[in-house]
Chains A and B, each alone.
Chain A
């Protein structure tokens, strides 16, 4: 099965990191990515720029409303994701626990909805 691992964290805390701490975290992420690839579980991943760079768009009655910022103000912000392949939720959760930011923020695991199951049965 495919799962998306969504990484949420407090951006303001991350911004306060020293350069050494930042480097350390990056090294950990690189190791995590390598481990995923070696296990054949890696499908893709990206890191997102902070929510201060976010723009939210809504179309209502044909009109486009563009606003500054994320769609919701929350204590922890979505900062990146991994798309992985895992035999079951248990293995996906194991990978999630290995995400370096799981120690400081929250990691959400969502199963990917397969295309051939979009239509209601």
Chain B
């Protein structure tokens, strides 16, 4: 038998913990208890696996162990149950799987459905966005509290507090563990997608946290989106989101120079793009109406870039069409600004500049408004105005690599 190290135990535990927690929550309906007994099962695994080896089905082993601990704890608590604010009615606690048959029915592990239930609970619209993100990462992700806190520039204490408050609201307001009905999905799926997108984005463009950690966030977002997509394969926007994340992630390595400076899409070494991820994303988009929703449209735009052999070969006319579609679905100023980049390629810098200027009142404090505008002015040879726009942009960021990039462009306007 090979040596089982505590690192190996922890690795297995991390991979399984989200699904197990979801199952524990379904039956126990008590976040704190579920987390405690899950932790108990890790301790038990640390004690027994290094001696006896990792079981064939570690997930089932951990679930059974956690289950037994939960039953023990509930039995001990029977007397104090009256003063314990549990979500479950008392009779249910009394019945809580004690007999062997009851145990087997209630604990039948359909991990997939349990995780789906849990993600809809974590992203319930009655929780605020920060709470949704923290809960999703903490309960379904494989990251530790300290890692999540670092990724979002919070102290572990304040993240813990955020989690405590969110869990309290779930318990006290009676937010259920259930998969929304088909007719509710229109309202309930978008916040889930948004949370997954934000987790990915924090990893992709987050400017301050350590690089490895950022990669973890991206991987985590993709993993969760994959799980969700496998469980709800009919949801077009979910497929679109997965494709979008894969297209973006495929460019990860080519996006920055060795010194950490950003490299613009047109200057990236396309041989460094991850072909496997691009292929997978292309497959996902196949047969999908590219106007199905904002994520699908953005995936189609990313797809145009990812499949162009060179920057010159990019199908800008198609991208512009897709931006028009995106604008119809999601008319925000930032979409309008991004659209001007495609507009410039199709109809020229002059027209793009004109449409950019129209956004000034609303995007005056937005760094990329000024850097985009500066770029158009520079290409039109209006260097004096370009200089001023770059200077304004410089005043709007503290990020070192962005500052370096803007300064180098400013120098070109000398």
- Shortest distance in angstroms between A72's beta carbon and chain B's nearest beta carbon? 23
Q: Which residues of B, 148-188, contact A by the 8 Å Cβ criterion? A: 172-176, 178, 180, 184
A-B contact pairs, 17 of them (CB 8 A): A1-B174, A3-B174, A87-B174, A87-B176, A88-B175, A89-B126, A89-B173, A90-B176, A90-B178, A90-B180, A90-B184, A92-B174, A93-B126, A111-B172, A111-B174, A116-B82, A117-B85
12 further A-B pairs in the complex, CB-CB below 8 A; given A89-B124, A90-B180, A92-B174: A1-B174, A87-B174, A87-B176, A89-B173, A89-B176, A93-B126, A113-B172, A116-B82, A117-B85, A119-B83, A121-B83, A121-B85
Q: For A90, give the chain B residue with the smallest CB separation.
A: B176
Complex-state Cα separation, A97 to B126, whole angstroms? 14
Q: Quick one: CB contact mask for A77-121 with B, threshold 8 Å, 1 for yes?
A: 000000000111110110000000000000000010110110101
Which residues does chain B contribute within 8 Å of A92, judged by CB atoms?
A: 174
Question: B84 an interface residue at 8 Å Cβ cutoff?
Answer: yes
Which residues does chain B contribute within 8 Å of A86, judged by CB atoms?
A: 174
Q: For A93, give the chain B residue with the smallest CB separation.
A: B126
- Report which B residues bind A (CB closer than 8 A): 82-85, 124, 126, 172-176, 178, 180, 184
| Other-chain residue from B84, B85, B178 in contact with A88 (beta carbon distance below 8 A) | B178
Which residues does chain B contribute within 8 Å of A90, judged by CB atoms?
A: 175-176, 178, 180, 184
Residue contact A116 to B175, C-beta cutoff 8 Å: no
Residue contact A116 to B83, C-beta cutoff 8 Å: yes
- Shortest distance in angstroms between A7's beta carbon and chain B's nearest beta carbon? 18
Q: Which of B174, B176, B180 has the most CB of A within 10 A?
A: B174
Which residues does chain B contribute within 8 Å of A121, judged by CB atoms?
A: 83-85
Complex-state Cα separation, A116 to B84, whole angstroms? 9
Complex-state Cα separation, A111 to B173, whole angstroms? 5
Residue contact B174 to A88, C-beta cutoff 8 Å: yes
Which residues does chain B contribute within 8 Å of A117, judged by CB atoms?
A: 85
Complex-state Cα separation, A89 to B127, whole angstroms? 12
Which residues does chain B contribute within 8 Å of A87, judged by CB atoms?
A: 174, 176
Which residues does chain A contribute within 8 Å of B124, judged by CB atoms?
A: 89
Complex-state Cα separation, A88 to B173, whole angstroms? 8
| Other-chain residue from B82, B84, B175, B184 in contact with A89 (beta carbon distance below 8 A) | B175
Which residues does chain B contribute within 8 Å of A93, judged by CB atoms?
A: 126
Which residues does chain B contribute within 8 Å of A111, judged by CB atoms?
A: 172-174
Q: For B120, give the chain A residue with the smallest CB separation.
A: A90
Complex-state Cα separation, A86 to B176, whole angstroms? 11
- Shortest distance in angstroms between B381's beta carbon and chain A's nearest beta carbon? 52
Complex-state Cα separation, A3 to B176, whole angstroms? 14
- Shortest distance in angstroms between A94's beta carbon and chain B's nearest beta carbon? 9
Complex-state Cα separation, A89 to B174, whole angstroms? 5
Complex-state Cα separation, A86 to B175, whole angstroms? 11
Q: For B178, give the chain A residue with the smallest CB separation.
A: A90
Complex-state Cα separation, A107 to B175, whole angstroms? 17
Complex-state Cα separation, A111 to B83, whole angstroms? 18
